[in-house]
Amino acid sequence: MKTNIYVIYGGKSVEHEVSLKSASAVINSLDKNKYNIYPIYITIDGIWCPLGLLEGKIEDPDELRKTSSNTVSKSIGDFLLHQINDNEKNIVFPALHGTNGEDGTIQGLLELLNIPYVGNGVLSSAVGMDKVIMKDIFAKHNIPQVKYASIQMPSWKKDKNKVYTEIEKKLDYPYYVKPANLGSSVGINRAENREEFEKAVEEAFLYDSKVIIEEEIIAREMQISVVGNDNPKASVPGEFIMERPFFDYEAKYIDGKLIPVIPAKLEPEVSDKVRETAVDAFKILNCHGLARVDIFVTDDNKIYVNEVNTMPGFTNVSMTPVLWGATDGTTYAELVEILIQLAFEKHEEKNNLLNTRS
């Protein structure tokens, strides 16, 4: 009997469009002799829209869109009542990025339903999304990272000048100011002085109720994919460079053509250290399945963990699958299959735990 795989994508997130591209690639990689594929589109308003059993290939990610007059709660109820085949083998691939999908919300629902799903669980997903909590945990475990501070909206509203002054005592300009729970493409600004800092914080609070501030560091940013459950393995590091004379931290926020370099040009011992640190970060956040760990490497080969993405972009040209192709020749379809099997293994392990007193 075939396995039913429900690929969930879209969602209430600024990364909605990227999610459609990831889902399209995942769906097209699946073996239809092995899987019954059910795409589930979540609109930008949060309404779940099943597309039914998929027969062919997806030529354009826009084919995965669907409209509905349902409410959010009714659409989820309809999905649970009419789409999930309880007496068959099921798994969910949540190809969701950012808030309302990569942050533990979907994972919590799937845990309650006792349905196996690809990727990280509730805790690691939530912590990986919240940059402040993630960095606080790394600090407890002596994971190297740049100096940072955070601002909560209530204290900021109460006395803005006091908050700004306290941050300036802790950190040296220039800063990068970010919403704590969004991807790096939205709400981020660089600040060299108080005036720019105030404007950056104002904008960041449009997207989240918590803001993180980091000291600028001039470094190359490595991306490493980590895959596994109890014994995770790290890919070779990769990086993006710009078609310009130099590329530093600031340049990643300037429009330009990015060129992937895989593997990144690092001394062997530095590359090994970067990979080891990526696995350490993965384990500390209790990750399983997959994650992409972003790590800064300075000119004098000091390393600093930037962040962990618990459901990174997953198109055919995204770093995660490309890194594994360069590491050991794993194809996109093979990587998807590995992640599915890891999900079933983790689900079985959880189901073997006792839920009552012995």
167, 272: one domain? no
| 309 is known to lie in a ligand binding site | yes
341, 344, 350, 351: CA torsion to nearest 10: -150
Q: 327 and 345: one domain?
A: yes
| Residues 289 and 312 both lie in one domain | yes
Same domain, 227 and 303: yes
- Cβ neighbours of 257 (radius 10 Å): 9
Show the DSSP H helices in 150-248 as ranges.
153-158, 160-170, 194-204
Asked if residue 345 and residue 237 are part of one domain, the reply reads: yes
The verdict on residue 162 lying in a domain is yes
**Residue 256, domain CATH:** 3.30.470.20
Regarding whether 230 and 323 lie in a shared domain, the answer is: yes
Do the domain assignments include residue 131? no
- Tens digits of pLDDT across the chain (358 residues): 899 999 999 999 988 999 999 999 999 999 999 999 999 999 999 999 999 999 999 999 999 999 999 999 999 999 999 999 888 999 999 999 988 999 999 999 999 999 999 999 999 999 999 999 999 999 999 999 999 999 999 999 999 999 999 999 999 999 999 999 876 467 899 999 999 999 999 999 999 999 999 999 999 999 999 999 999 999 999 998 865 433 333 444 344 567 889 999 999 999 999 999 999 999 999 999 999 999 999 999 999 999 999 999 999 999 999 999 999 999 999 999 999 999 999 999 999 988 777 6
Q: How far apart (Å, rounded) are the C-alpha atoms in residues 342 and 323?
A: 19
Q: Say if 137 falls within a structural domain.
A: no
- Its domain, for residue 96, covers 3-117
CA 188/CA 177 separation, integer angstroms: 6
Is residue 51 domain-resident? yes
Rounded to 5°, angle at Cα 214 from 208 and 217 = 145
Give yes or no: residues 315 and 206 share one domain.
no
**Helix (H, G, I), strand (E, B), or coil: what is residue 279?**
helix
* 85 among annotated binding-site residues: no
The CATH number of whichever domain residue 64 belongs to comes to 3.40.50.20
> Where among 164, 193, 215 does a domain terminate?
215
Note whether residue 42 is domain-resident. Answer: yes
Q: Are 311 and 119 in contact (CB under 8 A)?
A: yes
- Tell which of 76, 100, 117 closes a domain: 117
From the list 221, 84, 210, 239, the residue with the least C-alpha distance to 146 is 221
The domain boundary, picked from 215, 238, 254, lies at 215
Domain of residue 191, CATH code: 3.30.1490.20
Q: What is the DSSP letter of 236?
A: P
Residue 224 near residue 323 (C-beta atoms within 8 A): yes
CA pair distance 221, 266, nearest whole angstrom: 12
Task: Give me the number of domains the chain comprises.
Answer: 3
Reported pTM = 0.91
Contacts of 278 (CB under 8 A, 6+ apart): 224, 226, 234, 293, 295
Does residue 163 share a domain with residue 101?
A: no
Q: Which residue, 68, 117, 119, is CA-closest to 314?
A: 119
| CA-based nearest residue to 13, from 109, 82, 120, 105 | 105
Decide if 133 is inside a domain. Answer: no
Enzyme catalytic residues = 15, 184, 318
Q: Is 62 annotated as a binding residue?
A: no
249 and 233 in one domain? yes
